[in-house]
Amino acid sequence: MKIKIEDLTFKCIIGILPFERKKEQSVIINCKIKYNFKNEKFIDYSKIAYDIEKIMKKRKFELIEDAIIYIKRHIYDNYNITKLKLSICKPHIISNCKVSVVK
């Protein structure tokens, strides 16, 4: 089975620039999760979405890359999944584009 969490949007502190450390900015999270659905075992996608937002707000990462690595490790450690693709987008950091990192 595959779960998609698309356009999970919230504000948090993320970035290394001085203004990014003072004011929350919007981020958009997308993830694709593969898992084995057997004997009615399922993954609660609402818990994963909640975990992602909670981690991002609490940790206040400086680098998107560090956030992706941390969140991926958390999801693999806490949920019975086989594959995960994750992207974090900062849609307003540059006025004429959206910036994302994918792992």
What confidence tens digit (pLDDT) does each residue in 7-49 have? 999 999 999 999 999 999 999 999 999 999 987 788 999 999 9
What is the domain count for the chain?
1
- CATH number of the domain within which 81 lies: 3.30.1130.10
Give CA 59 to chain center in angstroms.
Answer: 12
> Does the pTM of the predicted model rise above 0.75?
yes
Domain span at residue 33 reads 2-102
Q: Can you tell me the mean pLDDT for 58-83?
A: 97
Of 39, 14, 18, 40, the residue nearest 27 (C-alpha) = 14
